[in-house]
Amino acid sequence: MQIIRDYWRCPSAARGAVVALGNFDGVHLGHVMILKACVDEARVRNVMPAVMTFSPHPREFFAKGSPPLRLQSFRQKMAFFKAAGIGAVFLVRFNARFAGLSPADFVQDVLVRDLQARHVVTGYNFAFGKGRGGDTNFLARAAEVSGIGFSACAPVSAHGAVVSSSAVRALLGQGRVRDVAALLGRHYVIEGRVLHGDKRGRAMGYPTANIALGALFRPAYGVYAVRFIVDGEMFYGVANVGVRPMYPLQEPLLEVHVFEMQRELYGKRVQVELVDYLREERYFDSVDGLMAQIAADSNMARQVLRDFI
C-alpha cells in the first residue's frame, strides 16, 4: 500500500482510482462498510481502491489545545486500510489553506484535476469544504457534472445506536468497552511501545508494562481486564488507565500487569485490548491496601477473561 502525502503529485498508478473520503477515526463498522464499498467498486472498474484522509483531524485543527481526540494511532489506521485491500492512501495535511477550499474547489481541484478520480465513496453524513459547506447531496451533483461516479453508504446501527466515531468516544469515556466493541466489531486496542517506569509494581510482585497514551483519546480512568499481544502472541492481564492517585503522574498512563509473563518487554511494540471495565481509579491509604486491591482486580480480570481464552 502506497502512502501519498502530496496528492497534487498523484503518481500514475494511483490516478483514476476509486477514492473513499473521510477521517476514518477508529475504523468502526460504518468505516468498514465504506472501505468495502470502495474496494468492490474498484474491482468492478478494474482500478485501484484508494482512501483520502486527513491529518490532523479537522476537529483537532479547529480546536487547538483541546483534549486528545484520536481513537487510534497512524500506524493502526494504515494497518486497517491495508487489511481492507486499499492500494493507496492520500494523506492530506489539514491546514488553513486546505480548510479554506470551497466545496466546489475541492471537487474540481482535488478530485477531478489532481486525482482524476473515477468514483468517490463516502459515509452518509460526510461534510467537506470551507465551513463544512458541502454535503453528500452537493457531492453527488458535482460528481455527476464532472463525470465521476459517487456513492454514499447508509448508516450502520449496533444495539439500536448509529455507529460513529463520536459514539465510540462517548462510550469509551464512560468505560463501556463492551459496547465499544459492538461498534468497532472488535475490542478497542491501545498500541504503543513499553516504557521504563519507576518499577514500583515489580517491587510489589506485580510488574507492569507501561504504555504512554500520547495523543490518543483518554478512556475512562480505571481498571480493565485486557488481552495483551506482543510478538504475535496473546496473553491476558489487568490494566490501569489514569494518573495513579497514590503516586501521581503528570500525564495519564496505561499500566498492564500481564499474567504469567516472564520475558523482557521494554522497547517492545505491543497491543492492549480493553475487554471489560472493572472499577474506577481511586486513591489508597497504604501500600498494603493497594496490593490487596491489585490481587482482587487480578482475580476479577481472570474470571472475566475466561470467556475469551
Classify strands 188-193 and 161-162 as parallel, antiparallel or unpaired: unpaired
pLDDT score for 203:
65
pLDDT score for 130:
93
pLDDT score for 64:
78
pLDDT score for 199:
66
- Cα–Cα distance, 82 to 51 (Å, whole number): 10
Q: Rounded mean pLDDT of 214-240?
A: 96
| Chain segment 235-289, per-residue pLDDT in tens | 999 999 998 776 777 789 999 999 988 888 899 999 999 999 999 998 888 888 8
- Cα–Cα distance, 132 to 98 (Å, whole number): 12
Q: Which domains does the chain have, with CATH numbers?
A: 2-155 (3.40.50.620), 161-308 (2.40.30.30)
Look at residue 65 and tell me whether its pLDDT is greater than 80. Answer: no
pLDDT score for 159:
80
pLDDT score for 39:
98
Distance, first Cα to last Cα, the chain: 33
Classify strands 149-153 and 157-158 as parallel, antiparallel or unpaired: unpaired
pLDDT score for 263:
83
Is residue 106 within 8 Å of 21, Cβ to Cβ?
Answer: no
Please tell me the pTM assigned to this model.
Answer: 0.92
Residue 265 C-alpha cell reads as: 518487554
pLDDT score for 256:
96
Residue 51 C-alpha cell reads as: 482512501
Lowest mean pLDDT among 30-39, 186-195, 254-263: 254-263
Proportion of the chain above pLDDT 90, given as a percent: 77
pLDDT score for 179:
95
| Chain segment 197-215, per-residue pLDDT in tens | 766 666 677 889 999 999 8
Q: Rounded mean pLDDT of 303-307?
A: 92
| Chain segment 91-144, per-residue pLDDT in tens | 999 999 999 999 999 999 999 999 999 999 999 999 999 999 999 999 999 999
Torsion 259-262-263-264 (CA) sign: positive
- Cα–Cα distance, 216 to 67 (Å, whole number): 9
pLDDT score for 35:
98
pLDDT score for 60:
85
Is residue 111 within 8 Å of 140, Cβ to Cβ?
Answer: no
Helix (H/G/I), strand (E/B), else coil: 256: strand
pLDDT score for 201:
65
Q: What is the mean pLDDT of the chain?
A: 92
